[in-house]
């Protein structure tokens, strides 16, 4: 089963049955294992330099990867898909306010929704 990520805002705001927000990306973030989540999310739209600068001590995801020894400053958010989840979780926990990559992605999805809410 694939996800249509063409309309990220619609996916983030998608309501599940009964009007609750268990559907869409926010529901996916809470239900799927991390390795499946990072394969399905448009990481480049979520882990933007704006998000990274606001919510981490890093200017970009590339800087986080480079300073933690997992990549280089020129890496895009897609590089996360190549890093073992345990390593990424450990570095996110040690170097940011988030306890795991999944928590950081949840906050990034909320940040994206809030920024795009008026459009």
- Note the pLDDT of residue 12: 52
Q: How confident is the model at residue 22 (pLDDT cuts 50, 70, 90)?
A: very low
Is 104 a residue whose pLDDT tops 80?
yes
Q: Looking at the domain assignment, is residue 20 inside a domain?
A: no
Q: Looking at the domain assignment, is residue 21 inside a domain?
A: no
The structure tokens listed for 33 are: 């294992």
Quote the domain boundaries for residue 79: 33-117
Q: Looking at the domain assignment, is residue 48 inside a domain?
A: yes
Q: Looking at the domain assignment, is residue 109 inside a domain?
A: yes
The pTM of the full predicted model, rounded to 2 decimals, is 0.74
How many domains are there within the chain?
1
Percent of the chain at pLDDT above 70? 75
What DSSP string describes 13-79? H---GGG-TTSHHHHHHHHS-HHHHHHHS-HHHHS-HHHHHHHSSSSSHHHHHHHTTSS-TT--GGG
Q: Looking at the domain assignment, is residue 26 inside a domain?
A: no
In the DSSP assignment, the letter for residue 96 is S
Q: Looking at the domain assignment, is residue 80 inside a domain?
A: yes
């Amino acid at each position: 089963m694939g996800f249509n990520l063409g309309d990220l805002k619609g996916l983030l705001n998608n309501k599940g049955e009964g009007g609750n927000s268990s559907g869409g990306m926010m529901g996916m973030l809470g239900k799927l294992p991390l390795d499946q989540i990072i394969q399905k999310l448009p990481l480049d739209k979520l882990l933007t330099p704006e998000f990274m600068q606001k919510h981490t001590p890093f200017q970009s995801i590339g800087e986080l990867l480079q300073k933690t020894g997992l990549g280089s400053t020129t890496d895009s958010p897609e590089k996360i898909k190549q890093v073992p989840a345990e390593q990424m979780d450990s570095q996110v926990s040690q170097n940011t306010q988030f306890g795991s990559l999944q928590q950081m992605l949840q906050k990034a999805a909320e940040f994206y929704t809030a920024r795009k809410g008026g459009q």
